[in-house]
Homo-oligomer: A and B are copies of this chain.
Amino acid sequence: MLSAAYRSRLTVVLVGARNPSNIGAAARAMQDFGFHDLRIVNDYAAPFEAAQLEDSQLTVKSAVGAASVMAEARRFSNLAEAVADCTLVAGTTAIGERDIRQDVVSLQQAAPRVLGELQKDGPRVALLFGSEKTGLTKEQLSYCSLLTTIPMFAPEAARHLSMNLGQAVAVCLYELTREGFEGAKELPVLHEAAATAEDRERLTQLLLDVLHATGYSRRFPANASEPLVRQLALQLGESHREAMTWMGVLKQVLWREQQGVG
């Protein structure tokens, strides 16, 4: 479980992102998974400023923006400065893109190391994503003490593998929060009463009556044996409410049979 204090120690760093919409998409993924510290490394301010503007419009228009994340986001002109306060710098990279001398582990393997670091007292973890066009360069990768990749499907070795930036951020943050959030809403539990064996037995008997009254069991005796009918009745209604509804339906059929025949 990732508490708010731990989540606040994760920094997402977008290095050289050019497309303002991608910066906004990354911010939105962060908001969805409860992370807040976004840093943009870029020589020039244009993409970041455009992303802030775009997000504020989105937030107003459709409430799908990531206003709080974007408002707190900061721009740095170089990577060293952006990760200066971090104790673990983890870089994301596509496999096979360039000659990487460092070990690359799958996201699933990297997650426990990142989570372990977040749970220590004090440290800060940076999760780096490269530009849409080139990914993290060799020089940028050299800042990382952990390299990770999202396993993708690669039918031909030649295929250039890279993932949409917002999707890559979303998948990484999903993996980090996969075990749950502390202090967040639990999934609502449906408290409806389950159907009992007694319900089911009543259904079985009713269904047998229906099969008999309608002549079904005469026409298809192989389908109408009691064990088989009991198996069918097992499927009628997982909840007591649904079982009651089925009983009502069957009773109505029987009642009609009695009317018609009588």
Contacts and interface: CB of A to CB of B under 8 A. Distances in A.
As for how many copies of this chain the complex holds, the number is 2
A29 B214 CA distance: 52
Interface stretch (A78-86, A117-125, A179-187): A179-187
Contacts of A246: 232
A226 to B, nearest CB: 14
Given A166-B166, A170-B163, A171-B171, A149 B28 contact: no
A194 to B, nearest CB: 11
Contact of A32 (B1, B29, B152): B152
Contact of A257 (B34, B150, B235, B260): B260
A188 interface: yes
A154 B260 contact: no
Nearest to A132: B64
A185 B260 contact: no
Count class of interface residues, chain A: 35 or more
A190 B102 CA distance: 8
A22 to B, nearest CB: 11
Interface in A209-260: 210-211, 214-216, 219-220, 223, 231-232, 235-238, 242, 245-246, 248-249, 252-253, 255-257, 259-260
Contacts of A253: 210, 214, 253
A156 B150 CA distance: 31
Contacts of A252: 214-216, 219
A96 interface: yes
Contacts of A214: 249, 252-253, 255-256
A153 B174 contact: no
A142 interface: no
Given A216-B248, A237-B232, A256-B257, A188 B95 contact: yes
A1 B151 contact: yes
Nearest to A261: B260
A140 interface: no
